[in-house]
Chain A
């Protein structure tokens, strides 16, 4: 039981996955290296930058601060799954039209984090959007366009003109 290697079975983007993992492997490294899902990015590796954000059992988490071995029986969604499912197509489009990304490194984590806020419904204030995204670093845009994009999607989903 106190072994280093463990068999895990989990759902990733709706597909059942069974793998043998080293206990020390983080969820984001497992997704990237074992499953080839490289949309989740590895930035700071200590929970500060948010580039590795994924959804675990319905809530966003740091892929670098969760171990793959802890995800036995869990359901994980990455940017690949969210993108293919079309659930954040409006948010992706808003990021594109408002230049809310330049290099794109932070974008997958930014999208999933913003999607979690938008899923709460309503139109959050810009201060709320900024606080919610405060754990996701973007070193290109200065955030303004990102906040614009998230606010525009919130308004559009609420049926308001942006």
Chain B
């Protein structure tokens, strides 16, 4: 239960981090470390080099520009929890944050780390997907943006490749007609979800449009429930439609059948939240 030996380097800038990563094919970025160091301790991974990016203040900013909230990759969960900008302009993320682990872990864990690690039962990847956000990625050749719909590609797999650094996430800022819902079931507060749901929609009179339901803890990645989304928009039976959307496997938390049932329970809760105008 101790890490295998590794080298350690502190990056002084994003470019420096990219250069350091390029020197060693078996290098890992160290951000909050709240998942990485656990896997090192358990020797589930044994990289040759850790590139510590914690000193990169340029990645610790939260800003609102042209209707988009940009959250730097190194913004810690606790910083995001205290952020008035996130509470006001990215309320879905504010709803999700208290469910993420525990205070001591939220003090270190980062937004970018959660997205890059892409645990299938984690809250923030599902929020990013529900919001139709995007991630900003830097590498030696430049910067690019990848939409959330294309970012999560498999179990702990993302569009991030060798030499890539996730530098920020970007989500559309809340407007008056936007509605959000978040619900999660976990055995212990702060544990990874048995099942969870991040939901976003736009109210148009009495109906909801642009509904995006992102379930987590039910598949290898967070997944959209598009049949249920269409039923909500059309006033149909969204919970019944989940049968077409979700096919969760059994895991240590619950059987697939139980997860499917619980997904319906969460959808009802989230639909109640979506039906209410935001304060």
Let me know if B9 is at the binding interface, CB within 8 A: yes
Query: Total number of A-B contacts with CB less than 8 angstroms?
Result: 108
- Majority SS at the chain A contact face: mixed
> Are A50 and B41 within 8 A (Cβ)?
no
Flag the segment in B104-112, B204-212, B223-231 that touches A. B104-112
Interface string of B188-202 (1 = CB under 8 A from A): 111000000000000
* A47 contacts the other chain (CB 8 A): yes
With a CB–CB cut-off of 8 A, which chain A residues contact B8?
A: 2-4, 6, 23, 67, 69
Interface residue A60 (Cβ < 8 Å from any Cβ of B): yes
Identify which of B30-38, B146-154, B249-257 touches chain A: B30-38
- Establish whether residues B7 and A53, one from each chain, have CB atoms under 8 Å apart when the complex forms: no
List of A residues within 8 angstroms of B104 by Cβ: 50, 53, 59-62, 113, 135
How distant is the Cα of A78 from the Cα of B104 in the complex, in angstroms? Answer: 14
Docked-complex contact B41 and A64, CB < 8 angstroms: yes
Flag if A4 contacts B5 (CB, 8 Å): yes
Q: Separation in Å of the A146 CB from the closest CB of chain B?
A: 15
Interface residues of B in 31-89 (CB under 8 A from A): 33-34, 37-38, 40-42, 49-50, 52, 54, 78
Contact between A62 and B34 (Cβ–Cβ < 8 Å)? yes
Give residues 1-27 of B contacting A (CB, 8 Å): 1-10, 20, 23-24
Q: Restricting to A55-73, which residues have a CB under 8 Å from any CB of B?
A: 56, 59-62, 64-67, 69-70
Residues of B within 8 A of A29 (CB): 2
Residues of chain B with a CB closer than 8 A to A66's CB: 33, 37, 108
Bound complex: CA A134 to CA B49 (Å): 33
**Given A60-B104, A134-B188, A2-B23 contact (CB < 8 Å):** yes
A144 within 8 A of B: no
CB A42 to nearest CB in B, in angstroms, measures: 9
Interface size on A, residues (CB 8 A): 35
Is the pair B108, A50 in contact by a Cβ cutoff of 8 Å? no
Q: Tell yes or no: A116 within 8 A of B by CB.
A: yes
What residue in chain B is nearest A24 (Cβ atoms)?
B3
Q: Would you call A4 and B7 a contact (CB within 8 A)?
A: yes
Task: Note all chain A residues with C-beta closer than 8 A to B52.
Answer: 70
Within 8 Å by CB of A46, from B20, B38, B102, B188, lies B38
Q: How far is the CA of A22 from the CA of B5 in the complex (A)?
A: 8
B2:A65 contact, CB within 8 angstroms: no
Given contacts A1-B9, A2-B49, A24-B4, contact A62 B108 (CB under 8 A): yes
B23 touches A135 (CB 8 A): no
- Are A24 and B34 in contact, with the CB atoms below 8 A? no
A96, CB-defined interface residue at 8 Å: no
> Any chain A CB within 8 A of the CB of B101?
yes
Q: Given the complex, which residues of A lie within 8 Å of B105, measured CB to CB? A: 47, 62, 65, 135
Q: Which of B151-198 contact A (CB under 8 A)?
A: 188-190
Residues of A within 8 A of B30 (CB): 67, 70
Is residue A45 contacting chain B, with contact meaning CB distance below 8 A? yes
9 chain-A/chain-B pairs, Cβ below 8 angstroms: A1-B10, A22-B5, A23-B50, A24-B2, A24-B5, A50-B104, A62-B34, A65-B37, A70-B30
Q: Which 4 A-B pairs have the closest CB atoms?
A: A135-B102, A23-B8, A46-B38, A134-B189
